[in-house]
Amino acid sequence: MKTQDFILLDEGYGAHNYHPLDVVIERGEGVWVHDVEGKKYLDCLSAYSAVNQGHCHPRILKALTEQASKVTLTSRAFRNDQMGLFLKELCEFTGYEMALPMNTGAEAVETAIKAARKWGYQVKGIASDQAQIIVANGNFHGRTTTVVSFSTEAQYKQDFGPFTPGFVAVEYGSIEALKAAINPSTAAILLEPIQGEGGVIIPPEGYLKEVRELCDQHNILFIADEIQSGLGRSGARFACDHEGVRPDMVILGKALSGGFYPVSAVVADQKVLGLFKPGDHGSTFAGNPLGAAVAREALKVLQEEKLIERSRTLGAYLKAELEKIDSPIIDFVRGKGLWIGLVLKEPARKYCEALRERGILCKETHVNVIRIAPPLVIEQAELDLIVSEFKAVLTASEKVLV
């Protein structure tokens, strides 16, 4: 079967809820993937930061296959020999007292919302069913009906109502907007420390620290959604670490399993997660032995191979090199670590398609931004290749790309 055969299958039998580039990937290793016709591509998306450790990392693959040959699922009706070790190692890595494992990032966001509301009623004393959570304009926390209820992207909400109440959205990066939105029923502020889907948008310096101070002042929980920004992507353990800020809850996913298996989690201290009682929350697959074994190894790879440090150093190099490209199409470059948004003065899709033809895979977001986020195992020579191909595409005549 050829590329077009697979595309016809996808289009003919699948719901059209994505607009992927027309490449059909068959296998991957490290930063490279190969399509069904044998062409090689450098992956600059990392499955939206789920593959920080690189495609099919041998250590994580070994952990997966070894555990899969023993037991894969016990449900939470019984205990298994991997979940406790995973929770301990995750808490030691993050510096929090407790963790609650889930599967997808959206599930972890829902978990954090439930935990914040429970804390609001049982600890802060908010009147029943009145808890409010403040979010930011341009947020992306998932696709569930609760989460899209507080999205400010019109398409994410259209025809999916009625929506879940209890959320108010304010300007991202504005402390004054946050202050104005706080009232006695405010239980939490939920933010992405860097807005990934929004186009790698970084708030003003000092913003996260001021959010932390505001939460302390008003007895509000600070929830950081680090599903994409965490685990090394921004050049730090968490993006909040850049300002020395410790949120009350951190939401993790994606790279927590190195792209092998859906694993997510919420980490917090006992004063928050300790409020959950049996029956309050759960999932059949959450904390399963296969996912736990994979996540344990994914965390070890991240630390032992110093991928966080690599992201910080190589990300600064990549950003500086991209800023040197002299092209009237480029508006500006922003980013932290190996997470860069190349903002163009026109729609980005055709440039992503042109890059695909040259063996570079990246994806547009918010129409005019190219998101660049290669696996953290990338080498400098491969970064030079990325820059070279971007330069070739962005300095070519527009006629070539139409």
Q: Are 161 and 329 in contact (CB under 8 A)?
A: no
Using alpha carbons only, what angle is made at residue 352 by residues 348 and 356, rounded to the nearest 5 degrees?
170
Q: Are 164 and 145 in contact (CB under 8 A)?
A: yes
Active site residues: 140, 225, 254
- Helix 83-94 vs helix 289-304: crossing angle, to nearest 10: 30
pLDDT at 397: 53
Q: Cα separation of 18 and 346, whole Å?
A: 21
Q: Cα separation of 51 and 284, whole Å?
A: 24
pLDDT at 402: 47
Q: Are 263 and 99 in contact (CB under 8 A)?
A: no
Please list the residues that pair with 335 across neighbouring strands: 340
Nearby residues of 393 by Cβ (< 8 Å), 6 or more positions away: 351, 354, 355, 358, 401
Q: What is the DSSP letter of 243?
A: G
pLDDT at 398: 52
Task: Read off the pLDDT of residues 274-312 as tens digits, 9 standing for 90 and up.
Answer: 999 999 999 999 999 999 999 999 999 999 999 999 999
Q: Cα separation of 309 and 313, whole Å?
A: 6
Q: Cα separation of 282 and 92, whole Å?
A: 23
Sequence length of the chain is: 402
pLDDT at 396: 83
By percentage, how much of the chain surpasses pLDDT 90?
A: 98
Low-confidence residues of the chain, pLDDT below 50?
A: 402
Domains, the chain, ordered by start:
3-56+306-401 (3.90.1150.10), 58-304 (3.40.640.10)
What's the one-letter identity of residue 388? S
